[in-house]
Chain A
Amino acid sequence: MSGGTRLENANPVIFQRSGQRLHTATEEDEDVHDPIDDREIFDILSINDPEHPLSLEELNVVEQIRVKVNDEESTVGVEFTPTIPHCSMATLIGLSIKVKLLRSLPERFKIDVHITPGSHASEEAVNKQLADKERVAAALENSSLLEVVNQCLSTRTI
């Protein structure tokens, strides 16, 4: 196999994409108010993995059942599951998810991103980092970090 840097998890299990959300008649109706729901947040999160040419959904890092949204109270909670317990990319994945939500949701929302309990070795540290507004802001000042995050969020094919 041709070289390059070694990947931490070179051959991950790939999960099926859930496919396009089906449009309902109410979505076409001008007068109905569609609340922001779990699936919608989940669709926003079709982010590329930093290591693989796959989306987080295909790697099962983000699952629809681990996305909780309450439109009325303006809160969003996302739990993500790193592919392996020692994944060094966990913080980066969390940061990407957080940035994507910050860019895609109305300002009124309070966004909480954390690791699925029990799925990562340094779960608490990562969660703390992600919850700290100042640290998130500082991270995004770092242009090389921002570059990686933006690459994850880029929809254009390379």
Chain B
Amino acid sequence: MINVYIELVTFAFHPQLYAHAHVLWLSFRGTMAADTALMLSLVEEYVSGLQDSKAKDTAKGVKDGEFTVLQLVEALGLSLTSSQPHTRARGVQLLSEVLQECYGGLTEREVEVLIAFYENRLKDHYVITPPVLQGLRALTKCTALPPGSAVSMLRSLFQDVHVQSLMLAERACVYNMLINLMETREAELKGLGADFVFGFVQSMDGERDPRNLLLAFQIAKSIVHRGYDLGKFTEELFEVTSCYFPIDFSPPPNDPHGITREELILTLRDVLAGTPQFAEFLLPLIIEKLDSDVQSAKLDSLQTLTACVSQYEHKDLAEFLEGLWASLRREVFQTSSEKIESAGLAALTALTSCLSRSVLNSDSEDSLCIFLDLVLKDCKHHLCEPDLKLVWPSAKLLQAACSASNRASHIIVTAVVPSIIEQYNNRTQCSHRRTILEVVQRFIQSVKTCQPPENEESVFGAFRSSLCSIVFSAVTETNASLQITASSVLTSLAQQTGLLLDSDIELAVDHLIRLLLMEDDDKVSLAVVECAGALAELHPAAFITKLIPRLKKEMFSDPMDQDNNREASEQQSHHALRQRCLSALAAVSIQPSVVQESTPVLLEVLSSAHTGSVGFSVEEVVLTCSSLQRIAEQVQDTEETGRCFHDIIIPRLLSLALQAGLQGEGSTGRRSPLLEEVVLSAMVPVISTSCSRLQPTLAEKTASRAVSLFLDGDVSFLPDNSFPSDIQLLKKQKGDSWSQSQMVCLLMGCVCSLPRSVEVPQMDQLLLQLEELSCTCSHPPSYTSAAKCFAGLVNKRAPGDSLDSLIQSTMKRVYSVLDSESSSVRTQAFTLMIWVARALLLRYHPLCTALIDKLFSLLDDADLGPMAADGFSLLMSDSSDVLNRSCHADVRIMYRQRFFSENSAKLVQGFNAAPQEKKPNYLKALSNIVNKLPKQVQVTELPALLSLLLEALSCPDQGVQLSTLSCLEPVLIDPPAALIQQLEALVNRLLALTSSRAMNVRIVSLRCIHAVSRFPVHEVLPFRARVLRALARPLDDKKRLVRDEAVQARSEWFLLGSPGGS
């Protein structure tokens, strides 16, 4: 059979013999299998009947094994040998289309024959070329490509086809062939030598379509990157690609091909920057294009320069260094945009690091030195000019070079730093000195980016003492901004490994202490605290011996003791001092050794505040707690710090709170600040952060201690143990006393923040008592904390029957209270319900639905309606102390979206069915839900709810107005069509709200009006006169913040439709 096949094909090779072939063909018919009748009809219908769909059917037949490619060729015989070029083309096309589908199943022998056939067809009439190329492309994908065929295919292609006179799709076909062959037959193609490159250059020369260019650039990139021999065609390949540089292409709107300018730029850059062989052509081109006025061309040139020098060596660059430097300098000195400036600096860094990499020969000059000499010559003197005008661009250039390599930074620092120091000492104006310090700071930071090799002295080693002395003199100035800059320079200096001596650090700490105690400028103390934190992390010893004892002494000096008639302002400043000390103590406590020293001081503040031995205000006590929390957050999690928090700090906090609680709120005389709710709420995060973050095994111990304290009154682990034995913190106290029950929030902080792997002992008992407390207690903070604690535990409890029955029994209890209108504890039951609902919502528990439905039904409740509407905000927002991810709660992703999609319809239904006086509750609930959705979801979901939201704008409740406005604001940036249809209603309502009683409503409504001005001009122009008139009134609003918004909105509306406006 195969002989028949070859013979046929051989005849097909010579179209002039078609008549002969025809006769032969007829004589072979008898040998054909019977089922080829179908095949023949398919071919007939495709070729003569022009039914394109038959190609699919034929391909399917071949794929399914009904007939072979060989049989197809046989069946095609007549068409392939036809005297009509169009018939021949049609025949080849059918074959090519089938091959595109079935190239995988061909044998090597078949492929060889087919390639020979196709190669020959390339010489045929031009109408046949497109299907031939398609067929060849299909064959290039064959795995069974016989050796040598890739080369022969390409030879005939390059020889017989002029690519650029083909149509778009055929050109793409040629490029795809090349890409396929380069993928699989790299070695063979390389065997073609430079001919391959030449062939490619000829094929792509003059290509204009961006889609094809992308393909051609990919090929060029592979040629360059995979080491094809460019031979004498290096310049040709460069020319044929670089003529597109810089890419200037803007895709048509709604481009279906999705070719972006960015894509073209990056692929072309890969080609041009791909090989050092292009250096001699590329660098002059870059220098030339940098002269361009077009910003994008400059940017592209700079980025290409950055990319290419990473491949180059110094000899490639040598002759262009001066030209490149002149261009770079000009771009940075006369910069018109930040982008170009930073691209220029990046290019300079890349260039310098390329020169630093080069290996020196004994006979060649050190090109790095030569280049840096150029840079220094042009930049250094600007640092010393009296008006300091070009100091920043020069400094930036020097720093860019400096950050390139260790060697470069040595050369530049040695040349520049002495003169900068001299400058600083000669200047007297503070603003000049600050500028110089900022320059120094940037130098230190730029050196930091190139870490010196091990055990080598810091680049700044020689200037240590003079740098220290200018920094220390700057911090003693009275100018605030100078002090701030100096402290950040100090931080940078300290971060240079091995630069500062211990004595320098001690001096620095002295200065910091002085600034902390004396400076009452907020910005300065913020900078000082930050600097102290950074230094303490690196050099803890000086802070332990000096800073902590000194701050302690200052904090405990009691202004009240000495004189009760002290000025209020002095008390104020003492308060500010304590505030600074507290935040400094928190900032320096990063190393465990520092924490060991600083936390006892903070605990002492708390206990003296409790006993009253030193007067601390409630606010100071709260700050102390937040400092402890900050330490718990930032300290390294080691055994040592874990013990410090779990064995010392937490027991101590519990003990102090318990002492205060036992004293009771009713006791005569002085009331301990630790009874205040704010203080307790500040203690909660200390406990929860330590339990969630530090040492799980120790946290488990803390949890079990806390549980036994609250359930059994076990006080054995508390320090200063002089407590009575009958403590019952979770039981209802006599006379409705709340001083002990409110401590339940501390229990919450402990048991609700544990990692989920840690077991809480006596869980069932605990849940029972918490439920009891939350349903019966009358003190709002107490029952709320109990409900939160209950919810936090429910959220983490393992799923199963015991959890379900627990929830069901709680639900039953809650519902029975809620359903009896007269009950006195409905609020309590509601609070428990909403927290449990949140706990279940977060973990996607199925029982959550019932609770949410109950919540919806409560929107119609006379008493609880508004509270239920607010409850939706609680369900949707993050809570800071419990049920969040940092407490290891079970929080599923996108629970808000899920909640929204499941419940928004219910809300709309409920709104429509509700009586008029209850509608505000629904609108409030809606705005609470929508407000907390991520912006992207809001924008897609809002159109459906638009009419409801517009309704909400005219709802009298200010809260509803405010939250609706803040939902609308982001939507207005990219308004959906539905909104534009309702523009009249929207503008009217927004304008009405600009005279609302609430300031915030006025502000946000004005912002919305401002946003409306950016709608399509033809839509909003009709409203211009009305809006301008209406906005005249808020211009005279009594609140400045409102006027600001009105001014902005009104000037935007003035510009609308006016010449030069928009």
Please tell me which one of the listed residues B334, B1050, B1061 contacts residue A104 in the complex, with CB atoms under 8 A apart.
Answer: B1050
B residues less than 8 Å from A30 (CB atoms) = 998-999, 1039
Q: Say whether A103 contacts B1038, CB under 8 Å.
A: no
Give Cα A34–Cα B293 distance, bound, in whole angstroms.
49
Check if A84 is an interface residue, CB within 8 A of chain B: no
> From residue B1014, how far is it (CB to closest CB) to chain A in Å?
9
Give B333's nearest chain A residue, CB to CB.
Answer: A1
Q: Say whether B1054 contacts A103, CB under 8 Å.
A: yes
Check if B892 is an interface residue, CB within 8 A of chain A: no
Give A71's nearest chain B residue, CB to CB.
Answer: B1036
B1041-1062 interface mask toward A, CB cutoff 8 Å, 1 = contact, 0 = none?
A: 1011001101110110011111
Give Cα A143–Cα B1048 distance, bound, in whole angstroms.
23
A residues less than 8 Å from B339 (CB atoms) = none
Q: Say whether A40 contacts B1043, CB under 8 Å.
A: yes
A residues less than 8 Å from B293 (CB atoms) = 2-3
Q: Say whether A104 contacts B1051, CB under 8 Å.
A: yes
Give B1041's nearest chain A residue, CB to CB.
Answer: A27
Check if B847 is an interface residue, CB within 8 A of chain A: no
Q: Say whether B1032 contacts A40, CB under 8 Å.
A: no
> From residue B1047, how far is it (CB to closest CB) to chain A in Å?
4
Q: Say whether A147 contacts B1059, CB under 8 Å.
A: yes
Q: Kindly name the residue among B1039, B1040, B1048, B1051 whose own CB sees the greatest number of chain A CB atoms within 10 A.
A: B1040
Within 8 A of B (CB), among A133-151: 143-144, 146-151
Please tell me which one of the listed residues B1035, B1051, B1059 contacts residue A153 in the complex, with CB atoms under 8 A apart.
Answer: B1051
Q: Say whether A1 contacts B1040, CB under 8 Å.
A: no
Give A14's nearest chain B residue, CB to CB.
Answer: B389
A residues less than 8 Å from B1047 (CB atoms) = 44, 104
Give Cα A104–Cα B52 distance, bound, in whole angstroms.
69
Give A74's nearest chain B residue, CB to CB.
Answer: B1036
Contact A146 to B1060, CB < 8 A, known contacts A30-B998, A104-B1051: yes
A residues less than 8 Å from B291 (CB atoms) = 2
Check if A100 is an interface residue, CB within 8 A of chain B: yes
B residues less than 8 Å from A75 (CB atoms) = none
Please tell me which one of the listed residues A34, A108, A144, A153 contacts residue B1040 in the complex, with CB atoms under 8 A apart.
Answer: A34
Give Cα A119–Cα B335 distance, bound, in whole angstroms.
30
> From residue A33, how far is it (CB to closest CB) to chain B in Å?
4
B residues less than 8 Å from A150 (CB atoms) = 1054-1055, 1058-1061
Please tell me which one of the listed residues B998, B1050, B1062 contacts residue A156 in the complex, with CB atoms under 8 A apart.
Answer: B1062
Give Cα A150–Cα B1055 distance, bound, in whole angstroms.
7
Check if A107 is an interface residue, CB within 8 A of chain B: yes
B residues less than 8 Å from A105 (CB atoms) = 1035
A residues less than 8 Å from B334 (CB atoms) = 1
Check if A6 is an interface residue, CB within 8 A of chain B: no
B residues less than 8 Å from A103 (CB atoms) = 1050-1051, 1054
B residues less than 8 Å from A40 (CB atoms) = 1040, 1043-1044
Contact A27 to B1059, CB < 8 A, known contacts A104-B1047, A155-B1051: no
Q: Say whether B1051 contacts A144, CB under 8 Å.
A: no
Q: Say whether A153 contacts B1032, CB under 8 Å.
A: no
Check if A88 is an interface residue, CB within 8 A of chain B: no
Give Cα A28–Cα B1044 distance, bound, in whole angstroms.
13
Give Cα A148–Cα B1051 distance, bound, in whole angstroms.
15
A1-37 interface mask toward B, CB cutoff 8 Å, 1 = contact, 0 = none?
A: 1110000000000000000000100011010111010
Give B1053's nearest chain A residue, CB to CB.
Answer: A103
Q: Say whether A107 contacts B1032, CB under 8 Å.
A: yes
Give Cα A123–Cα B838 distance, bound, in whole angstroms.
70
> From residue B31, how far is it (CB to closest CB) to chain A in Å?
79
A residues less than 8 Å from B1052 (CB atoms) = 155
> From residue A38, how far is it (CB to closest CB) to chain B in Å?
12
Check if A106 is an interface residue, CB within 8 A of chain B: yes
A residues less than 8 Å from B1041 (CB atoms) = 23, 27-28
Give B1014's nearest chain A residue, CB to CB.
Answer: A156
Q: Say whether B1055 contacts A154, CB under 8 Å.
A: yes
> From residue B177, how far is it (CB to closest CB) to chain A in Å?
45
Contact A146 to B1058, CB < 8 A, known contacts A104-B1051, A155-B1052: yes
Please tell me which one of the listed residues B998, B1035, B1048, B1060 contacts residue A154 in the complex, with CB atoms under 8 A apart.
Answer: B1060
A-B contact pairs, 21 of them (CB 8 A): A1-B330, A3-B293, A23-B1041, A27-B1039, A27-B1041, A30-B999, A32-B1038, A33-B1038, A44-B1047, A100-B1051, A103-B1054, A106-B1036, A107-B1032, A146-B1058, A147-B1060, A151-B1060, A153-B1054, A153-B1055, A154-B1061, A155-B1051, A156-B1062
Q: A143-B1059, A146-B1059 are in contact. List 10 more A-B contacts (CB 8 A).
A: A1-B334, A2-B293, A27-B1041, A30-B999, A32-B1039, A40-B1043, A100-B1051, A151-B1060, A153-B1055, A155-B1052
List of 8 A-B pairs having minimum Cβ-Cβ separation, nearest first: A147-B1060, A150-B1060, A106-B1036, A147-B1059, A34-B1040, A33-B1038, A104-B1047, A151-B1060
